[in-house]
Structure 1
Amino acid sequence: MTRDDRLKALNTALASRILVLDGAMGTMIQKHKFTEEDYRGERFKDWQQPLQGNNDLLVLTQPDAIRDIHTAYLEAGADFAETNTFSSTTIAQADYAMEHLAYEMNVEAARLAREACDAIATPERPRFVAGAIGPTNRTASLSPDVNDPGARNVTFDELRTAYAEAAKGLIEGGTDVLLVETIFDTLNAKAALFAIDEVLEELGVDVPVMISGTITDRSGRTLSGQTTEAFWYSVRHSRPMSVGLNCALGADLMRPFVSELSRVADVPVSVYPNAGLPNEFGEYDETPEQMAKALAAWADDGLFNIVGGCCGTTPDHISAIARAVEGKTPRKIPSLEKRIRLSGLEPFTASANFGKAAAE
């Protein structure tokens, strides 16, 4: 099945049922208890600095383990396998002096996810690779120095270049959609979306984009200060396949913000919360049954079209969630009145008479 065939099937499925994303890659990697030597493998055994914790490197040194994690999630009921590329940019890989490997990581990660999807897929139910593009470890909107509010440790063009390389690698490796996720700084996301537009035009391909932001606490704002509605207005120009929220919060705390996004977004909405908030040991306590019960209620209220899990979730969580939403009607995409919709930290929607009043 070609990418075009899969995208046709994806659009059909998205219109008819709730689709399921996979769960946390990091949580599953931790279960393997990989040592420094495991991270290095034979290829990087003499690397000049520690590599343990560079989970994206495992697509090169422990590919079978990464493929098996994808397979476990797909067998649990996931429609999407997210690539193990959350930090596969030159900017993030600089921490390990592996900038030059970022492109290869994206290609290989997408290839592994593609292999897992193709092995599980059937003509009646194809599986899709979501090429994950994380936020990097730098922010274009915020200063790293509290004494110098105007300071920045990355520029828009540096982000744009890094994101373009990642997107090209993911497409080469066989991704079906690009997932710009865990967005805490909207300007970073804008750089990613701009870069993706340039790459798609350069390659002459049509790859849908999913966008997922992160509300960092109960204030209902991203780290760079935007409300959920303002965040959507900042990125809606990119005409994404979906928009949603992930990470930071568990299902109980995330609901009001997903509800707000569901009200204002005229595209499918995705949601993949953490398995609760981390406890004092940094672990996640929300059980599969608890998550599934909460998300099933959201589905009954028509809040989303795509659902999955973030930090702390496992194949057991995804299996429970998939069963809980099976047969439920996906969120109906609202038809919104045409208005001028702007954003700063807060949203602004012009009144219906704005254009008429201006003309007069």
Structure 2
Amino acid sequence: MSPLPRILDGGTATGLQAAGIPMLAPWLTSAPLRDRAGTDALVKVHAEFLESGSDLVTANTFRTNTRALSRMGVPDSEQAGYVRRAVTCAVRARRVAGTPHALVAASVAPVEDCYTPALTPDDGSLAREHGWMAGVLADSGADLVLVETQCTRREAVIAVEAAVRRGLRTWVSFVVTDGAALPDGDALREAALACVDAGASAVAANCLPRTAVPRALERLDGLGVPVGVYPNLEDRTALDRWEHSERTLPPALSPPEFADLAYGWAEEFGLGFVGGCCGTAPAHISALADKWKEEAAA
């Protein structure tokens, strides 16, 4: 059996929706950061994943870049506070769950839409905005930066460079269309190699359908850094491919089904980390952790 991979958490939005917090524009996942009741709910979501077996929890910084916060009406002087608050919630959850060795990753998303590469701004804007985020995260208490759900190589490289320049441990993850290419048409492997050259210490694919996982992992194999995956587990048959849903969608896989699939991917590709994205609940993570324990004891 290969060395056990690190187990990631599941979907923060999925957990918030299960707690009764709808994903309403423009705030979406950032809504809980506005008040104490919201941050308490967010801590509970993080803690439930940690208690289920995750040894990395992703802070809810996904929609706290300066562009997104400005659109929500947050003054410039208050924006860094939202980023730090999100990381603090993840750190608090680690204490609540009694998992001091779990890592806290700060999520860095595209500054525009994860699935619409045509909206990606010019390089100067990207460098400025990702530089701001990296600067805030540098003293936030996060253990690493997860540049994730990236839809263009260009933005992914700039975001990685900004974080590495601040001395931050940096991973990168891409959203892919068919397992081989990003939404803008760039090849996944070439995008990953460019980010490794820029200083990323791990690469992954995320928010992709489970059927695309093997092909994506084939493209990421042999890059010289740990590789991971955290797919979308939602049953999206009633929606367009990237259509947003304010309500909770049912999972396409049961927890045992997900655990078996993820274990197979980890064994076949020697994964360094594995988890789930949208639609992944604590029960899925618990089943995955139990699967690893069973195989280790066999």
TM-score strictly above 0.5: yes
TM-score range, shorter chain: 0.7 to 0.9
Alignment of 1:347-358 (within 5 A): none
Matched residue, 2:19: 32
Instruction: Work out which structure has the larger RCO, using CA pairs closer than 8 Å and 6 or more positions apart in sequence.
Output: 2
Unaligned runs of 5+ in 2: 240-244
TM-score, normalization by structure 1: 0.71
Cα distance 1:102–1:258, how it changes in 2: closer, same or farther (>3 A)? farther
Deviation at 1:117, TM superposition (A): 1.3
With over 3 angstroms needed to count, the CA separation of the structure-2 counterparts of 1:18 and 1:25, relative to structure 1, is: same
Task: State the match for 1:260 in structure 2.
Answer: 219
Query: Does the CA contact (< 8 Å) of 2:180 and 2:189 recur in 1?
Result: no
State the alpha-carbon separation in 2 of the partners of residues 328 and 226 from structure 1: 37
Asked if 1:60 is matched to 2:66, the reply is: no
1:136 matched to 2:94? The reply is no
C-alpha distance in 2, partners of 1:300/1:327? Answer: 14
Q: 1:102 to 1:16 in 2, by over 3 A?
A: farther
Q: Which amino acid aligns with 2:183?
A: L
Q: In structure 2, do the counterparts of structure 1 residues 199 and 57 end up closer, same or farther at CA, with 3 Å as the change threshold? A: farther
**Segment of structure 1 superposing worse, 24-33 or 176-185:** 24-33
Note if contact 2:266-2:274 (Cα within 8 Å) is conserved in structure 1.
no
Q: Is the 8 A contact 1:243 1:270 kept in 2?
A: yes
Whole-angstrom distance in 1 between the partners of 2:223 and 2:213: 16
For residue 56 of structure 2, the aligned residue among 58, 75, 80 is 80
TM norm structure 2: 0.85
Q: Number of aligned pairs?
A: 282
Report what 1:107 is aligned to.
84
Secondary structure at 1:257's aligned position in 2?
helix
The corresponding residue for 2:94 is 117
Structure 1 vs Structure 2 CA RMSD? 2.6
- Residue equivalent to 2:242: none
Q: By how many angstroms is 1:317 displaced?
A: 0.8
Aligned-residue offset at 1:178: 0.5
> What secondary structure, in the 3-state scheme, does the structure 1 residue paired with 2:147 have?
strand
1:20 equivalent to 2:7? Answer: yes
Q: Which shifted more, 292-301 or 153-162?
A: 153-162
1:1-360 to structure 2, matched below 5 A, reads 17-34=4-21, 53-61=27-35, 62-98=38-74, 100=76, 101-121=78-98, 126-137=101-112, 143=118, 154-200=121-167, 207-216=168-177, 218=178, 220-250=180-210, 252-262=211-221, 264-280=222-238, 283=249, 284-326=251-293
| Displacement after TM superposition at 1:279 (Å) | 2.5
Q: Percent identity?
A: 24
Higher Cα radius of gyration: 1
